[in-house]
Amino acid sequence: MQWIDIGANLTHESFDRDRTAVIARARSHDVQQLIVTGASVIGSSAALELAISHPGELFATAGVHPHYASHLTAAELPELRQLLQQPQVVAAGECGLDYYRDLSPRAAQLRAFEWQLQLAAESGKPVFLHQREAHQDFVAVLRDYRSRLRGAVAHCFTAGQQELEDYLALELSIGITGWLCDERRGGHLRTLLPRIPADRLMLETDAPYLLPRDLVPKPRSRRNEPMFLPHVAAAVAAARGETLQQCAAYTCANARAFFALPPMALPETAPPATPG
């Protein structure tokens, strides 16, 4: 089996000491391709560098998270545009609206969101979306841009049935994280999962955030890692009444098509000896 983690914040400082080991552990748990989330202009450059140093295995997104929207100025758009032209950058974002934390003023969030949808449309690359407690505005903005976007994924979907139906109507893909594994707040997601068409579902850890709560044993650091993606997948497969193999097959196919990922390179093997 193979897995693809479509959202891992591997440039996060909590990985500074052991990033290479984290990537190796992911690989040994069959998580063979990872998309490193860019959440700021600097963070997106760092994500790109990381992707360049792991060709075929790591990819990056380039964008500014709504938390940092007030830092994004028009003067920085050419840099974002340039990042989006790099082959290792496979999506625009993470971008969107977050009225739950409201860390940037809403007007700044809306402006940064529209700028990035515009850049995504120009680049021909899909967009990696974040939304929390901002559904109405989010959907209203997206409706204006959707026909110009190659693809769009609502990352870390945690909302309810109405939101899901609105997203599906907008032809969004849905990213599912270990939020599902939280017995206190993930229950509604288990009932919604069977409503997601198999060709729209992708998996992500959102590491280092959202360590699955039912993981045994839990790492002492409480840090989430891409190697726990199969644990999330097992919860997804159980909620949908599928085998793990079925879940791996279609979620990988979706991620490869959505982000236009190359097929996973086979491990180097010695060429067969030619008969004497």
Q: What's the closest the beta carbon of residue 263 comes to Zn ion, in angstroms?
A: 28
Q: What's the closest the beta carbon of residue 68 comes to Zn ion, in angstroms?
A: 12
Is residue 200 a contact residue for Zn ion (CB under 5 A)?
Answer: no
Alpha carbons 155 and 175: distance in angstroms, whole number = 4
Chain mean position to CA 189:
18
Q: Are 207 and 9 in contact (CB under 8 A)?
A: yes
Query: 74 is written with which tokens?
Result: 């028009």
CB closer to Zn ion, 132 vs 256: 132
- Cα torsion 246, 251, 252, 255 to 10°: value is 160
DSSP run (H or E) holding 47: helix 41-52
How far is residue 52 from each of residues 13, 25, 35, 64, measured CA to CA in Å?
19, 19, 12, 20
Beta pairing class for 31-36 and 173-176: unpaired
Is residue 12 a contact residue for Zn ion (CB under 5 A)?
Answer: no
Coil, strand or helix at 175: strand
The footprint of Zn ion on this chain (CB under 5 A) covers a number of residues equal to 1
Is residue 130 a contact residue for Zn ion (CB under 5 A)?
Answer: yes
DSSP state of 12: S
Q: What's the closest the beta carbon of residue 7 comes to Zn ion, in angstroms?
A: 8
Q: What's the closest the beta carbon of residue 38 comes to Zn ion, in angstroms?
A: 12
What residue number has its CB nearest to Zn ion? 130
Q: Are 92 and 125 in contact (CB under 8 A)?
A: yes
Q: What's the closest the beta carbon of residue 93 comes to Zn ion, in angstroms?
A: 9
Alpha carbons 30 and 53: distance in angstroms, whole number = 19
Q: What's the closest the beta carbon of residue 69 comes to Zn ion, in angstroms?
A: 13
Q: What's the closest the beta carbon of residue 204 comes to Zn ion, in angstroms?
A: 10
Q: Tell which residue, 26, 19, 20, has the closest CA to residue 3.
A: 26
CB closer to Zn ion, 125 vs 130: 130
DSSP state of 69: G
217 preceded by a cis bond (ω within 30 of 0): yes
Alpha carbons 230 and 22: distance in angstroms, whole number = 15
Q: What's the closest the beta carbon of residue 37 comes to Zn ion, in angstroms?
A: 8
Residues near Zn ion (CB under 5 A): 130
